[in-house]
Structure 1
Amino acid sequence: MRIHDIIQGKKEWRAHAARVKALPQDYQIVYKEIQKYFFKVGPVELTEGTGLLSGIVDLFEEGAASGKGVLDVTGKDVAAFCDELIKDSKTYADLIQEAVEQEANKTMKKDKKK
């Protein structure tokens, strides 16, 4: 990764953070919880720019502009909202599981050859 890419990434993240800070307080709280959830669950796309998170901010900005409460936008079960957003996404847990399965398959093949 070039230094220019790092600087550009930081600029994009700062602009994203400024958008979050401009949201109403209840939206900010829920956004931060969603962000924590995604960092814990680890959808792979999360590290590729701010696409998923930026989309959530877009949605929240629209909800706030129309006068909706944040739970009117996400529903009362915010974790289910998050899970729905990433249901078709590959997570780091998936990648680890695949690596473990591949290693187990290699070991089983070696054992069969003996």
Structure 2
Amino acid sequence: MEENLKSSLLAVCETLQKHNVQYMLVGGTAVALNGYYRLSINTSGVLTEKPDLDIWYNPTYENYFNILKVIRDLGKDITEYLDEQNPNPKESFFRFDFEDFSVDILPEIKAPIKFAKANKNKQTV
């Protein structure tokens, strides 16, 4: 894994930890951390060299607002999310592009397992 990606990943994870976010890293970067590198796929379905961090978060209200703090600390404007009258964490997907990587923050993934159960079985790398 490239040094730029490692430092970006560490910065993102440190910010998630700082704000007590319940999360798991999933997708291609998680696979790469386990020794199996593959390219990311962009929103158009095309392979890309730009790494994509997929973060699966527990979609509770407390965690949702902690996610907003993380997004703010990463330098993105969260005004539109703070102004929402009825936020729904279970339907709140976020995607942000940065210079060296992009990040998807997901309340659910296509898997036959719920966050709580997966979180109990997660491995820390």
Pair in the same fold by TM > 0.5:
no
Would you tell me which structure has more helix in proportion to its own residues? 1
Would you tell me which structure has more strand in proportion to its own residues? 2
Larger Rg: 1
